[in-house]
């Protein structure tokens, strides 16, 4: 009977191409060295490489000290080819780092069936504190990719014959660390950030998602808006403290400051970049100003020919005193 593969859990001891120990990685294959119980005290250099089972299009490399699931190609041969899936993360509170511990006694295995004594027992579920954590993590019915800290990518679909909706959310800063240290089971980035998360939300709904209801500004005679103008099945929302729309073709020639190898847009250059971008114009306020200009041009008077127009008590006075800052946004900049 041929040997069959078997699943085991183990501790990550070395990551290929990382500056740990003195091992030289041969290629960038995301291989790792994992210590299984059967490996005992073998030197790290003697441990077989474990190759990732996940496709390379989905990067998820564990950290040293975390745990992974390992498949060995032969049960009786501890040096046979190994494959891994991981890291093993027991609960969302340990998303940033989930220690496997030596012998599998860390929180990574706290929800796995094992007779080993654990250094960390399973934490109380964060769902019991929904007032703090609701929205911080994707719902189980959604497809999502979670980052180590405060970021994720969530794909949502809500079925329905007449009003099916789909949504893609790219979120950053969506989770924060709890400030109340008395809530012992809340650890790491698990509290929903309801103050200033940054995200791009792409929404589509059959039958329309906007232009359905009247808004508070629709009846203002100085506004150009109406719910009919908002009518759409698809809407993209970009939300952040400040929003910059930058083109590589901008005359400022930002160059490498917006194509940095590590940061894309260099944080240390951000103030300089924003100072050179143009503040976006509020279209509705611009229309109000243009109407004032047209009205003044067509109705102004002169006390006598060839002298400046009359200002006091006229709409020209309002135009001269107009607050031009009202027509530009302090929060949206474009190139």
Give the separation between CA 212 and CA 255, rounded to whole angstroms. 43
The answer to whether residues 311 and 247 belong to one domain is yes
Q: Answer yes or no: do 216 and 229 share one domain.
A: yes
Torsion of CA 63, 76, 56, 203, to 10 degrees: -80
Residues 3 and 102 in one domain: yes
Q: Which residues, 6 or more positions from 43, have their beta carbon under 8 angstroms from its beta carbon? A: none
Domain containing 220 equals: 124-241
Please state the pTM of the whole predicted model.
Answer: 0.86
Q: How many domains does the chain have?
A: 3
Query: Looking at the structure, do residues 2 and 117 belong to the same domain, yes or no?
Result: yes
- Quickly count: other Cβ atoms within 10 Å of residue 331's Cβ: 11
Looking up tokens 């890291």 gives 87
Same domain as 209, residue 289: no
User: Are residues 41 and 83 both part of a single domain?
Assistant: yes
| Whether residues 88 and 132 fall in one domain | no
The reply to whether 170 and 142 lie within a common domain is yes
69 and 84 inside one domain = yes
- Please tell me whether residues 271 and 166 are part of one structural domain: no
Tokens of 114: 């094992």
Q: Domain end: 183, 215, 241, which one?
A: 241
pLDDT of residue 151: 97
d(CA 189, CA 94): 9
- 223 with 281, same domain: the answer is no
Q: Is residue 150 within 8 Å of 173, Cβ to Cβ?
A: yes
Which of 105, 123, 141 terminates a domain? The answer is 123
User: What's the token pair of residue 238?
Assistant: 């970009």
Please give the chain's pLDDT, 335 residues, in tens: 455 567 889 999 999 875 544 455 566 788 999 999 889 899 999 999 999 998 888 888 999 999 999 999 887 788 889 999 999 999 999 999 999 988 888 889 888 876 676 777 778 888 766 788 999 999 999 999 999 999 999 999 998 777 899 999 999 999 999 987 777 778 889 999 999 999 999 999 988 988 888 887 777 666 667 788 889 999 999 999 999 999 998 877 788 899 999 999 999 999 999 999 999 999 888 988 888 888 888 888 888 888 888 888 788 888 888 888 999 999 999 99
Same domain, 141 and 156: yes
Give CA–CA dist 85/12, Å, rounded. Answer: 11
Tell me which of 84, 107, 123 is where a domain ends: 123
- Cα separation, 156 vs 196, in Å, equals 22
CATH number of the domain that residue 32 is part of: 2.40.50
CA distances from 69 to 4, 50, 87, 233, 289 (A): 16, 10, 8, 44, 65
């Amino acid at each position: 009977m041929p040997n069959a593969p078997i699943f085991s859990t183990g501790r990550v001891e070395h990551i290929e191409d990382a500056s740990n120990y003195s091992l030289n990685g041969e290629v960038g294959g995301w291989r790792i060295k994992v210590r299984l119980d059967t490996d005992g005290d073998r030197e790290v250099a003697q441990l077989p490489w474990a190759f990732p089972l996940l496709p390379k299009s989905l990067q998820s490399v564990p950290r040293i000290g975390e745990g992974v699931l390992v498949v060995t190609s032969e049960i009786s041969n501890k040096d046979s080819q190994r494959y891994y899936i991981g890291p093993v993360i027991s609960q969302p509170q340990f998303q940033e780092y989930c220690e496997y511990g030596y012998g599998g006694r860390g929180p990574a295995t706290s929800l796995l069936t094992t007779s080993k004594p654990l250094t960390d027992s399973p934490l109380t579920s964060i769902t019991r504190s929904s007032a703090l954590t609701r929205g911080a993590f994707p719902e189980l019915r959604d497809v999502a990719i979670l980052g180590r800290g405060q970021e994720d990518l969530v794909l949502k679909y809500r079925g329905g014959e007449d009003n099916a909706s789909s949504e893609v959310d790219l979120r950053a800063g969506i989770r924060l660390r709890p400030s109340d240290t008395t809530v012992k089971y809340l650890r790491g980035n698990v509290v929903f950030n309801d103050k200033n998360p940054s995200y791009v939300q792409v929404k589509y709904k059959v039958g329309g998602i906007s232009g359905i209801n009247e808004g508070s500004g629709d009846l203002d005679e100085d506004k150009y808006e109406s719910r009919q103008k908002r009518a759409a099945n698809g809407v993209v929302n970009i939300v952040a403290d400040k929003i910059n729309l930058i083109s590589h073709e901008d005359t400022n020639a930002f160059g490498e400051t917006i194509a940095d190898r590590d940061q894309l847009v260099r944080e240390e250059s951000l103030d300089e970049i924003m100072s050179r971008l143009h503040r976006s114009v509020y279209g509705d306020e611009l229309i109000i100003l243009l109407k004032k200009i047209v009205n003044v041009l067509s109705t102004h008077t002169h006390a006598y020919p060839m002298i400046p127009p009359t200002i006091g008590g006229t709409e020209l006075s309002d135009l001269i005193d107009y607050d031009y800052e009202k027509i530009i946004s302090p929060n949206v900049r474009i190139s």
